[in-house]
Structure 1
Amino acid sequence: MSLDLTIAITTYNGEKRLPQVLEKLKNQIDTKNIKWEVLIVDNNSTDNTAKIIREYQVNWLKNVPLRYCFESQQGVQFARKKAISEAKGDLIGFIDDDNLPYSNWVKAACEFAKKNPKAGAFSSRIHGLFETEPSEELKKIIFYLAIVDRGVEPMLYEPRQKGLPPGAGLVVRREVWEKYVPSRLLLVSRSGNSIMAGGEDAEVLLHIYRAGWEIWYNPTMEIDHLIPSWRLEKTYLTQLMRSIGLGRFHLRMLLLQWWERPIAFVFYLINDLCKIIIHFIANICPRLFPNIQDFISINCENNIVNICEMERLIGTFFSPFHLAKFKFKELIFNKNV
């Protein structure tokens, strides 16, 4: 039997985070006329995730199934692919195990889908719930942590101008995903070796966009995103920004026709190099002056932001070469299998 909506929660070692999410879903309002379910995709957890779900199933909502499945292959997109195959809903809402949906989230998702039949995917308004409040300077790049607030009005995404939303709090039509999203994506983690983990959600959405479906921002679907302190540390942020950059070339090419790509490759290469040089002169060079200690003490957080931006620019410049290297290794691997 087909349902209106499947809430798919992909999790890895989420025994401490899942209870908060499940409590939020258990207390959804105005869902009497909505047929929906909650599907937990355990992405190879080694903790008590399965036990937590079994305990919740005992006293769960009568008319809302709470189902559990296991995906042994590590990686967000492998877990989401499992969710797509197991889901019974016409719509699939992806909620991460650190996302706390507001009480009307299920209702808002179903209503938006009915009012916008051309929407192949639509995203939530995501607020950051920080363990440690970020500085004003860090807030300049905080949207990279899947925090999205584009106001109170719905907005149609145009990838070339306004980018794309993150996968957290995203709702997709199951038939659209099954028909247009390839079973094998490029920007995913494989065998513990991530090629460009920062672009896997965007890759899915670009395939949907290229098929002629609309992608929307729906502010009536609101979520609190729990951000632990370690995600504000320099090491994590720089790795994240480099990863986002490394996936950029593949995403750019998905927006182009095959005959446009050679010219675009040259243009992007020159343009990206110029951006690196300009950013270096404007933001990095001042540290080379004799008053370096004064500069660092006054602009410490700003330096982190500048370093993160430089990591993203460098990753973007090297992304076509990184992609070529990855494809070559994969070709050799497949020949040897």
Structure 2
Amino acid sequence: MTNDKTMSIDFTVAIPTYNSANRLTKLLDKLRQQTDLDQITWEIIVVDNNSTDNTAQVVQEYQENWLADVPLTYILEPEQGAAYARLRAVKEAQGELIGFLDDDNLPNPDWIVQAHTFAKNHPQAGALSGQIHGEFEVEPPENFQRIQAFLAIREHGSTPHQFEPQNLRLPTAAALVVRRKAWQESVPQRPHLKGRLAGSMLGGEDYEPLLYMHKAGWEIWYHPDLHTYHQIPHWRLERDYLLSISRGCGLATCQLRMVNAKPWQKPLIIIRNLLGSLRRVVLQFLKYRGQFKTNLIAACEMEFFWGSLISSFLVVKRSSLT
């Protein structure tokens, strides 16, 4: 089934995916079970970001026996990077609201109706996110909650509130709902941060669009009744992966602070980020000296602080090349 361009759509579920055909089937099954949608028209767009597995075939098989009144569309996005997959999803989406779900996120049955109702009641919300719980193949390490945000696990309590973009306190793009109008009016077509590509764990692509929306005056909200579950396989809890993703999150810090900065502010931001990160590195070293080989969580925090420190130099290097 393909999109009927004349059909009025309230909500688009956009699924960026890469070589995850097995996970995609679980997500599509969950979406088939969404409830209380009698008054909401919706569609699903699967954006295949150059998969080499049978993703296209899986979507085709689901299209043959899909919900009659819910368009299910397959799109190939050849430009590699999660940021480009999301940009393509926004370009193709027909819904007033776009709910991004990574292929390893499983939403509650009321995910769409919860997001739609909250956005309707908060017309200045350019984006909103909820609780993302971890479902682990193996038991996570002790004190894992200190670094769980690096794996897009977010649990911010039971009270709705606005995020703080000015402090880089923002939701992840996993299970993020955006207002299409806010994205189209605010987010440029060529992002600085493209997503984690081969050979690089540089993050930050989740936050960049939200910072543009914030600059344009849109609010970014947390809705505690919006629940999804992030599937965490055993290899994502291995030491090398956790250290790598922790550093990758840190490496984007200074560049993200530059997104909405005025030219005269940029040197000050670089210096402040450099000194603040250096302070955190020193304090972490003094607190956990001699423990970094045995205390994985402390080691991951140190990698994040080092990444944030290095991010200042990456911004300076990039500026010198442009």
TM-score range, shorter chain: over 0.9
The alpha-carbon deviation at position 322 of structure 1 amounts to 1.6
What do the CA deviations read for 1:248-300 (whole angstroms, capped 9, x no partner)?
0011223543323323322332222222112112212x45xxxxxxx97xxx3
**Residue 292 of structure 1: aligned partner:** none
Distance 1:185 1:150 in 2: 28
Letter in 2 for 1:56: Y
Structure 1 residue 56 corresponds to structure 2 residue 62: yes
**Total equivalences in the alignment:** 316
SS of residue paired to 1:273? helix
Structure 1 residue 125 corresponds to structure 2 residue 131: yes
**Residue 309 of structure 2: aligned partner:** 317
Distance 2:128 2:176 in 1: 6
Structure 2, unmatched stretches of 5+, are: 1-5
Conservation of the 8 A alpha-carbon contact between 1:74 and 1:192: no
Distance 2:232 2:118 in 1: 27
Distance 1:240 1:155 in 2: 27
> Structure 1 residues 162, 260: CA separation in 2 closer, same or farther (over 3 Å shift)?
closer
What do the CA deviations read for 1:194-252 (whole angstroms, capped 9, x no partner)?
4x632111111111111110000112221011001111111111111111111100112
Conservation of the 8 A alpha-carbon contact between 1:209 and 1:215: yes
Structure 1 residue 261 corresponds to structure 2 residue 253: no
Q: Superposed, which structure 2 residues align to 1:243-254 within 5 Å?
A: 243-254=248-259
The alpha-carbon deviation at position 177 of structure 1 amounts to 0.8
Distance 1:304 1:172 in 2: 35
**Residue 3 of structure 2: aligned partner:** none
Q: TM-score scaled by structure 1?
A: 0.89
C-alpha RMSD over aligned residues: 1.9
Conservation of the 8 A alpha-carbon contact between 2:148 and 2:154: no
SS of residue paired to 1:318? helix
**Residue 205 of structure 2: aligned partner:** 200
Distance 2:261 2:317 in 1: 21
> Structure 1 residues 209, 260: CA separation in 2 closer, same or farther (over 3 Å shift)?
same
Distance 1:246 1:277 in 2: 18
Distance 1:38 1:267 in 2: 43
Structure 1 residue 42 corresponds to structure 2 residue 48: yes
SS of residue paired to 1:172? strand
SS of residue paired to 2:127? strand
Which deviates further from its counterpart, 163-172 or 245-254? 245-254
Letter in 2 for 1:222: H
**Residue 279 of structure 1: aligned partner:** 284
Q: TM-score scaled by structure 2?
A: 0.93
What do the CA deviations read for 1:90-124 (whole angstroms, capped 9, x no partner)?
11100011011110111111111110000000012
Structure 1 residue 221 corresponds to structure 2 residue 231: no
Q: Which of the pair has more CA radius of gyration? A: 1
Letter in 1 for 2:56: A
Letter in 2 for 1:111: T
Distance 2:52 2:76 in 1: 12
Distance 2:84 2:33 in 1: 29
Letter in 1 for 2:309: F
SS of residue paired to 2:35? coil
Structure 1, unmatched stretches of 5+, are: 288-294, 332-337
**Residue 13 of structure 2: aligned partner:** 7
The alpha-carbon deviation at position 162 of structure 1 amounts to 7.1
Conservation of the 8 A alpha-carbon contact between 1:74 and 1:190: no
Distance 1:122 1:191 in 2: 26
Distance 2:278 2:159 in 1: 37
The alpha-carbon deviation at position 167 of structure 1 amounts to 0.4
Conservation of the 8 A alpha-carbon contact between 1:11 and 1:43: yes
Letter in 2 for 1:133: E
Distance 1:42 1:183 in 2: 18
Letter in 2 for 1:312: F
Percent identity, aligned pairs only, is 46
Distance 1:197 1:205 in 2: 17
The alpha-carbon deviation at position 307 of structure 1 amounts to 1.3
SS of residue paired to 1:198? coil
Letter in 2 for 1:309: E
Q: Hey, which bits of structure 1, 4+ residues long, moved more than 6 A?
A: none
The alpha-carbon deviation at position 82 of structure 1 amounts to 0.9
